[in-house]
Chain A
Amino acid sequence: MKFIAFHLMPYRELPADFEVTYPSVWVTPPKKLFDPKKGHRMYHDYLDELEFAVDLGFDAIGVNEHHSNAYGMMPSPNLMGSILSRKVRRSDKTSLIVLGNSLASYNPPIRVAEEMAMLDVLTGGKFIAGFPVGTSMDQNYAYGINPAELRERYYEAHDLIMKTWKSDDILTYNGKYNQFRYINPWPRPAQRPHPPVWIPGGGSVETYDFSIHHNYSFSYLSYFGHKYAKKVMGPFWDRNDELGADRNPYKAGYCQIICLSETDERAQIDYEEHVRYFFNKCLHVDRRVAEAPGYRTVKSLRAGLTSQFDGTQKSASQMLKDGMGWQDLIDHGFIVAGSPATVREIMRESLQDMRVGNVVCLFHIGSMPHWLVQKNMQMFAEEVMPQLRSLFSEWDHSHYWPKGYAEDAKQEAATSG
């Protein structure tokens, strides 16, 4: 079992009336609400938290990409990744995951091949490359990418990056959106032929097939926890079987909000305010900018509309709007919260049930202060992670995880030639 300490780096001091006064945390949150002095403190707290996760022995630390977003202050995850790579290179346990670079946004896309290769070299071959299509809010509304072109641009950028990484030759490329006479990015990645690739997705069949076909690891990154994730992972494994692939749990991951305290009661006292901040403010997205026409394929759209219109499946966001108490959030799996024993039990059962070998843990939630994040992570690392570690140990994870240089190999690489 592999555990990733993941950070969204939210702005944790949005005004109390934010969700009433302003239409959206994404695309249109007023910039005047951002205080650079507070932002300075937050960024450094968050980097400290991820560095602390390296000390605690997590398998990876992770960052991601959002734009015009008050709950995800990383327009460039590669910047944060490069800072963190200094710590990761000293670790013999922890890798760096950038989940990811939304490929269609990069012009030219070989920028991603270059920067991720830098991160792979900086970390000493302990880097995982995440390639999300990206949300409509980020890609279409904030970055202006035509929704009719987003997926095609993504696929073309992916092919271009992989071609670049897999070859030591100078290449040419004559694509629909990209044309190059000379593709020769320096440096090349430390891992040969390339770092492991993970695909974060929302559960469309196209994404399942893309991940399975390329033997990438698929991660379902919602904020709605294990019960919703199961609805996505079930069809993923069905599709995986249909395509005749093996059932290695490390080709699957999901995201979970985790709140650990000494007792179940104490967890509510410690975390409820911050969890509410997250669900009320950080997920306050204006419907007007939630999905550009063409962002979803007709097939995915039809599936979504069917469950929406015939009432067979209540969406997670609708459940939140209808009001959920602390215990509801736990019962519906949105959060895993409580004592170490409680968290262990819920996670063991859900991880086995979903058959996922990678769990993307959110230990910082909403407005949480630095000390509480440290407590949360430390309790998890000491009292949950060791007991769950052996899950799926009969499977080989190595295709989906970096190998990394040993310290002496790094030394040798530095001194030879």
Chain B
Amino acid sequence: MAQPKELLIQANENVSFAVKVAGQGEPVVYLHGAGGLAWDPFLEGLSHHYQVFAPHLPGTGRSSGLENIRDLWDLILCHYDLFDRLGLDAATVIGHSLGGMIGLELAATDQSRIKQLVAICPAGLFKEEEPVPDMFAMLPHELADLMVADSSSPAAEMLRYVPSTTEERIEATIQRMQNLQAAAKFLWPIPDKGLKHRIHRIKAPTLFIWGRQDRFMPVSYADDFCNRIPHAKLALIDQAAHLVTLEQTGQVLTAIQDFLHVTEAHQNMTGGFP
């Protein structure tokens, strides 16, 4: 697997992003989930068809400035700043989980900046009658098992991997905690930061992708999201849970390509909005 290059981009005076970049073609911004950003087979596959920009969330990897981001509003604005620095007037955004929530917020806030949106089992809504599990009150192996449909799969093995040397183990644990800390800043204690009041503003063509066996963000949430964005499409993927991009990489890539291809053609014909 080819390693992407990493750019360090000062988005504004408060925040800088480390952005992994690879591939050729139409630019696509990928926003990772609460587990952090790793260059995995899904992103590798995506980079075979698109130019992928994958920023680390501030406070994770080499991205910095989490302490300067006061709230979700700051987080959204610094993403637009990042788009400016990357030369993306309007970007196609693919986001997973927390990254899906950020993508939805971006699309709802400034409609002109998001061209097409793919939200993969995104966070952002919360139902008291069917609460999402508290990922911040779980032991690492419990969280890993919850994320996958098959706990004996290679994806699950990868999640459970513990480095052998003490030093590597310490660094891996610290990295894990930093990823969770950054995620918690925007998801604690309940991942409802008001998206439901803004989501109706989303005009970009939107595709939701969901693992049918997702027990972290159950499929009933997919229905909720789709009901709030009438023009959205939903791709349900079998034999996959929350980490659908790792469990059914090929199917997810195909669904994304089909959607981006069709909506791109449609936008060209209609001059923009669906």
Contacts and interface: CB of A to CB of B under 8 A. Distances in A.
A244 interface: no
Contact of B188 (A147, A288, A298): A147
A176 B189 CA distance: 20
Interface stretch (B90-98, B122-130, B179-187, B207-215): B179-187
Interface string A308-320: 0110000000000
B138 interface: yes
Contacts of A293: 136, 177-178, 180-181, 183-184
Interface string B157-173: 00000000010011001
A148 B181 contact: yes
Nearest to A147: B184
Contacts of B170: 302, 305-306, 309
B137 A288 contact: yes
A360 B180 CA distance: 36
What bracket does the count of chain B residues touching chain A fall in? 20 to 34
Interface of A: 140-141, 144, 146-149, 152, 176, 287-289, 292-294, 298, 301-302, 305-306, 309-310
B140 to A, nearest CB: 11
B185 A294 contact: yes
Contact of A148 (B66, B139, B173): B66
B38 interface: no
Given A146-B184, A293-B184, A309-B166, A301 B177 contact: yes
B8 interface: no
B139 A288 contact: yes
Interface in B11-57: none
B174 interface: yes
Nearest to A144: B189
B142 to A, nearest CB: 8
26 contacts: A140-B189, A144-B189, A146-B184, A146-B189, A147-B181, A148-B66, A148-B182, A148-B184, A148-B185, A176-B70, A288-B138, A292-B136, A292-B184, A292-B188, A294-B177, A294-B181, A294-B184, A294-B185, A301-B177, A305-B169, A305-B170, A305-B173, A306-B170, A309-B169, A309-B170, A310-B166
A288 B185 CA distance: 18
Q: Which of A146, A289, A302 has the largest number of chain B CB atoms within 10 A?
A: A146
Interface string B100-139: 0000000000000000000000000000000000001111
Contacts of A176: 70
Given A293-B177, A309-B170, A287 B139 contact: yes
B3 to A, nearest CB: 26
A105 to B, nearest CB: 14
A393 to B, nearest CB: 45
A147 B138 CA distance: 16
Contacts of B67: 148, 152
A298 B138 CA distance: 20
Q: Which of A144, A148, A152, A293 has the largest number of chain B CB atoms within 10 A?
A: A293
